[in-house]
Structure 1
Amino acid sequence: MNIGPPLDKVVIEVPAGLVDAGETAEQAAVRELKEETGYVGVVSESSPVMFNGTSYNCMVHPGFCNTNLKMIHVSVDMSLPENQNPKAELEEGEFIEVFTLPLQDLWAECAKFEKEGYAIDARVGTLAEGIEIAKRWKL
């Protein structure tokens, strides 16, 4: 998860980034994970492409235009030597603090961070709420 930038609005989010020319979304996900967290992983699953809103939203809210999203599930083998002391490869202007927590605690941690003044990325919040709903409904 990312936290940054300092002394500004702080955001809790999952590693993310743009797909570079010549690479797939899956390759970009593995690259971004390594750059932003230092962890090395392998793709285990991909979602369909999702988009924000409709053409109406693009006219009313131009910031929502051209924001397609594909969630890539990446497995990280924590027993591998390269994942023992990972070091992020941050770009200039990136301020990221990496931390881990059990998925079962994600909803409570998001609530705690929000009370502390952190902004929760919609992807993280949606994932956390989905896990919480699955627990409540015993899915």
Structure 2
Amino acid sequence: MSARDTKILKTEPLKSEDAEWTKLVLTTYTDPLGKTRTWEHAERRTRPADSEIDGVGIVAIVEKASGPEIILQKQYRPPIGKVAIEVPAGLVDAGETAEQAAVRELREETGYVGVVSESSPVMFNDPGFCNTNLKMVHVTIDMSTAENKDPKPELEENEFIEVFMVPLKNLWAECQKLEKEGYAIDARVGTLAEGIEIAQRLKL
């Protein structure tokens, strides 16, 4: 069984009142010249009232003798009809910090237990289309601990996630290879890979 075994059966319009996770919004605003304009966009319905963010992305790093590796996932995404290469990620629950959500989601999706080192500023995924935002939480994983010897994900019944690791120094090349194989590269993974590549080229 693979994430690639998923198949779209049909696509059809969805009324806003029937949508559980998102809604369409028409915003009216004035531009710097005072002209009134409108903008169509989407909003999530799931952000907790006590949270400034919708979710977290997790930069989970495993230290190995050959160098640090990042934990990635293969997951089918119906909106694009492809298996995406992603970092572990998930929505924040009510009363939960970004860091707590990251540790929980990492354990649920990969089975690994990590320690948070830092978090990014609030970032917006696609601000021209939706208000969805997140923090990228950096987590280190100690493979010598008993809990990480035989990690077992705790996936929901509708989650089909394949976990794998890539050496950080090879992430850009791996993204290029995976795209040629037909995978979609999530922007968070691609941006991280490009940043590493630029740093290597410029010797920063």
Would the TM-score normalized by the shorter structure come out above 0.5?
yes
For the pair shown, which has the larger CA radius of gyration, 1 or 2? 2
Partner SS, residue 87 of structure 2: coil
Correspondence for 2:104 among 10, 31, 52: 31
> 1:16 aligned to 2:81?
no
Task: Indicate the residue corresponding to 1:125 in structure 2.
Answer: 190
Deviation at residue 5 of structure 1 after TM alignment: 2.9
Correspondence for 1:45 among 118, 124, 148: 118
Distance 1:109-1:52 versus aligned 2 partners, 3 A rule: closer
> 1:89 aligned to 2:145?
no
Number of paired residues? 131
Q: Deviations over 1:30-79 (max 9, x none)?
A: 0000001100001100111112455xx3xxx3xx22x1121100111111
Task: Indicate the residue corresponding to 2:76 in structure 1.
Answer: 5
5+ residue gaps, structure 1, are: none
Looking at secondary structure, tell me which structure has more helix per residue. 1
Structure 2-normalised TM-score?
Answer: 0.61
> 1:103 aligned to 2:173?
no
- RMSD in angstroms over aligned alpha carbons? 1.7
- Distance in 2 (alpha carbons) for counterparts of 1:52 and 1:15: 15
- Distance in 1 (alpha carbons) for counterparts of 2:147 and 2:123: 32
Relative contact order (alpha carbons < 8 A, sep ≥ 6): 1 or 2 greater? Answer: 1
Distance 1:131-1:91 versus aligned 2 partners, 3 A rule: same
Looking at secondary structure, tell me which structure has more strand per residue. 2
Deviation at residue 136 of structure 1 after TM alignment: 0.3
Distance 1:118-1:52 versus aligned 2 partners, 3 A rule: closer
**Is contact 2:75–2:86 with CA below 8 Å preserved after alignment?**
no
Task: Indicate the residue corresponding to 1:79 in structure 2.
Answer: 144
